[in-house]
Amino acid sequence: MGRLSTLFAPERVAVIGATDSDGSVGRAITSNLLASFDGDVVAVNPYKDEALGLRCYDTIGDVDDPGSVDVAVVVVPPNAAVQAIREAGQAGVQNVVVITAGFGETGSEGMSREQKLKEAAREYDLNLVGPNSLGVMSTPDGLNATFGNEMANEGDISFMSQSGAFVTAVLDWAAERDVGFKDIVSLGNKAILDEGDFVAEWGEDPQTEVILGYLEDIADGTKFIRTAREVTQDTPIVLVKSGRTDAGASAAASHTGAMAGSERAYEAGLEQAGTLRVESVQELFDYAQILSGQPLPDGDEIAIVTNAGGPGVMTTDAVGDSDLSLAEFEDGTLDRLRESMPDEANIYNPVDIIGDAPAKRFELALETVLADDNVSMAVVVACPTAVLSFEELAEVIVEKQAAHETPVATTLMGGKSVGAGQEVLSEAGIPNYFDPARAVDSLDALRDYRQIQAREYESPASFDVDRDRAEEILRTAARRDTNRLGVEAMELLDAYGIPTPQGAVTRSPTEAEEVAQDIGDDVVMKIVSPDILHKSDIGGVEVGVPPEEVRSTYEDLVVRARNYQSDATVLGSRSRRWSTSSPAPRPSSG
């Protein structure tokens, strides 16, 4: 488990700002915690003696053994929040969830408050969620430290969201379905903990099978990519990154102040990070469901088994739209299908076992195609008929899927007659959709994730960087308060170990002759001056100068520079030979 393990699996939680005032956020949090949390809940509120049956302490420091409090949930007004956090830190609490709003999302006063909050958190090395967060949930211990209306069902999806409202919507929606969660976090303003931290945490959490996220920006791209690449080797990450379009990006800026950044950069970065990026809420949960319920395919080939020609064609079109391909069956498979199916059946893929097929015929067909080495996954598409029980069919599918450990998705194409079958499938982790396009799209996501897992990342080329020298160059240039010089750029490249042409800045004809002699070839000579940016325009660059002309060229260049009313008397000379750091004479800084 990672460093946030006590955030999601605390034994003792304090609510700083606990209250029983009707309709208050403090009351909602306290009562949600009391409703289902297996651990201990303590209340802090200097203005109350008691709240919802809990004794209220004046400060967190007053709680018995305050260091044993794993998580402090802060719901005090904004102007009291920083002090509360500081006190939690002093008391030895490691994790703080700041529900309080009125920080960076509200203008300059809020921003400076958020800055102070960051400083306090850093001082005490706090794992801080928020501010402006709906809170956190973790189902194994019944932890509901949010002010939402719903507690999540237990499951293996962990979910982070930069929108608290979206968390409440998802919980309300999931309550009606068989969608369960391990942990949920509302990221809020991400003052300290961001998406990269949670990805890292869930990557080490054996109870998290899939990571879902709704993000409007990514706080630290480099950290996120590095972490996600590692995590996604074992745990798929599915993300909605909104603000994709120009209109969406400006809406995001107004919502969370997210500088959405270039969509292209996000697209490339999320792809490099090995995340599965989706565009709609429906896809987010479709992908989560199949990734948590089904094994990965060993190839791209899909078999379709159906009792209905038309829906079979629609399914085939969906395969045509995807990165999957229709499996070509082995001869043995075709022979077995020919023997066991009616004459009117189509034994080639898509396999149409026709309208009078009972569950038993589906079983035979499914067993046959799943045993085929050319089949990496299957979709079963069934329309309601008088002779087919969807519940029996679901049991058959569950059995065959498990026996072959091959991913399967289904389309029991109906409404009221689907219920019981759907439940059987859902318990076994097999997703079912009315629309075959969604079934195929979900299987396609499994394929994408398999591709991501199979990736080998090249470690980027690393340079032996002389950081001190680079810093010195930049500091000097900054002090000078004039335009940067080309030679400084060269020095900087050199400090980073990137080859540059050999050369030096010289201050007299004699010095120039010496450097040219060192180079031992024709040289390039240029005026070096912060006042002359477009050197060629005034004849300030001479190329191919032979050693014997270095002196006179130097003198010519000085004249040209002075004609331009510059103080510059310094000339550089460089050959076309490339050198790395050491052998080249160090240019003197201009």
- Find the part of the chain contacting a second copy (CB under 8 A) among 201-209, 312-320, 501-509, 541-549: 312-320
Q: Which is nearer to a second copy, 121 or 239 (CB)?
A: 239
460 binds a second copy (CB under 8 A): no
Residue closer to a second copy, measured from CB, 55 or 360: 360
Q: Residue 172 or 335: which CB sits closer to a second copy?
A: 172
CB-wise, 28 or 505, nearer to a second copy? 28
Under the criterion CB under 8 A, does residue 321 sit at the interface with a second copy?
A: yes
| Residue 133 Cα distances to 121, 193, 423, angstroms | 16, 12, 34
User: What contacts 539, CB < 8 A, 6 or more positions away?
Assistant: 560
Query: Residue 495: which of 525, 451, 463 has the closest Cα?
Result: 463
| Residue 106 lies near a second copy (rule: CB under 8 A) | yes
Least distance in Å: CB of 173 to a second copy?
4
Measured between alpha carbons, how far is 35 from 43 in angstroms, rounded to an integer?
15
**Could you say whether residue 282 binds a second copy (CB under 8 A)?**
yes
Cα–Cα distance, 150 to 173 (Å, whole number): 10
> Alpha-carbon distance 390 to 430, whole Å?
14
- Mask of contacts with a second copy, 36-65, x by CB under 8 A? ------------------------------
Stretch that binds a second copy, among 331-339, 428-436, 548-556, 567-575 (CB under 8 A): 428-436
The verdict on 256 binding a second copy (CB under 8 A) reads: yes
Distance CA 438, CA 280 (A): 12
**Does the footprint of a second copy cover residue 135 (CB under 8 A)?**
no
Alpha carbon distance 122, 402 (integer Å):
49
Alpha carbon distances (Å) from 486 to 493, 495, 518, 590? 11, 14, 21, 10
Contacting a second copy (CB under 8 A), which of 75, 212, 305, 308? 308
- Residue 247 touching a second copy (CB under 8 A): yes
CB distance 197 to 220 below 8 Å = no
The rounded distance, in Å, linking the Cα atoms of 484 and 468 is 19
Q: Which span sits near a second copy by CB under 8 A: 1-9, 36-44, 251-259, 499-507? A: 251-259
Q: How many CB atoms are closer than 10 A to CB 112? A: 12
Q: How far is the CB of 192 from a second copy (least distance, A)?
A: 20
Chain residues 74-93 in contact with a second copy, contact rule CB under 8 A: none
Choosing from 76, 365, 394, 418, the residue that interacts with a second copy (CB under 8 A) is: 418
Could you say which of 383, 420, 492, 538 contacts a second copy (CB under 8 A)? 383
Task: Determine if 428 is a binding residue for a second copy (CB under 8 A).
Answer: no
Alpha helices in 91-220 (DSSP H): 108-123, 164-175, 195-203
* Cα–Cα distance for residue pair 380/538, rounded to 1 Å: 77
SS3 351: strand
Shortest distance, position 361 Cβ to a second copy, whole Å: 15
Q: In the complex, what is the shortest distance from the CB of residue 468 to a second copy, in angstroms, rounded to a whole number? A: 42
Q: Which of 172, 471, 521, 537 binds a second copy (CB under 8 A)?
A: 172
Q: Cβ atoms within 10 A of the Cβ of 249, count? A: 20
Cα–Cα distance between 235 and 229 in angstroms, integer? 10
Count the site residues for a second copy by CB under 8 A. Answer: 74
Residues numbered 186-225 forming contacts with a second copy, rule: CB under 8 A = 214, 216
- Rule CB under 8 A: is residue 533 a binding residue for a second copy? no
**Selected binder of a second copy within 210, 252, 409, 445 (CB under 8 A):** 252
Q: How far is the CB of 33 from a second copy (least distance, A)?
A: 17
Straight-line distance from the first to the last Cα atom of the chain, in angstroms, rounded to the nearest whole number: 54
* Among 75-83, 379-387, 506-514, 574-582, the segment contacting a second copy (CB under 8 A): 379-387
Measured from the CB atom, the residue of 89 and 164 that comes closer to a second copy is 164
- What is the rounded CA–CA span in Å between residue 97 and residue 135? 6
Q: For a second copy, which is the closer residue by CB, 241 or 450?
A: 241
Closest approach, Cβ 188 to a second copy, in A, equals: 12
Among 32, 144, 146, 161, binds a second copy (CB under 8 A): 161
Binding flags for a second copy, 392-411, as an x/- string (CB under 8 A): --------------------
Query: Please, which residue, 28 or 117, has the CB nearer to a second copy?
Result: 28
Among 1, 35, 165, 403, indicate the residue that binds a second copy (CB under 8 A): 165
Cα–Cα dist 480/589, whole Å: 11
d(CA 284, CA 277): 8
Nearer to a second copy, 95 or 316 (CB): 316
CA distance 61 to 87: 7
Helix (H, G, I), strand (E, B) or coil at 332: helix
248 binds a second copy (CB under 8 A): yes
3-state secondary structure of 163: coil
Q: Closer to a second copy at the Cβ: 93 or 353?
A: 353
Q: What backbone torsions phi and psi does residue 346 show, to the nearest 5 degrees? A: -100, 115
Q: Which of 389, 417, 426, 589 binds a second copy (CB under 8 A)?
A: 417
In whole angstroms, the minimum distance from the beta carbon of 411 to a second copy comes to 9
Question: Does the footprint of a second copy cover residue 168 (CB under 8 A)?
Answer: yes
> Could you tell me if 432 and 418 are in contact, meaning their C-beta atoms sit under 8 angstroms apart?
yes
**Residue 174 interacting with a second copy (CB under 8 A):** yes
Beta strands in 187-252 (DSSP E): 210-215, 237-241
Strand order across the beta sheet in which 71-74 lies:
50-51, 54-57, 40-44, 12-16, 71-74, 95-98, 127-129
Q: According to CB under 8 A, which residues from 260 to 279 bind a second copy?
A: 279
Least CB distance to a second copy at residue 256 (A): 7
Residue 234 CB, nearest distance to a second copy (Å)? 28
- Residue count (the chain): 590
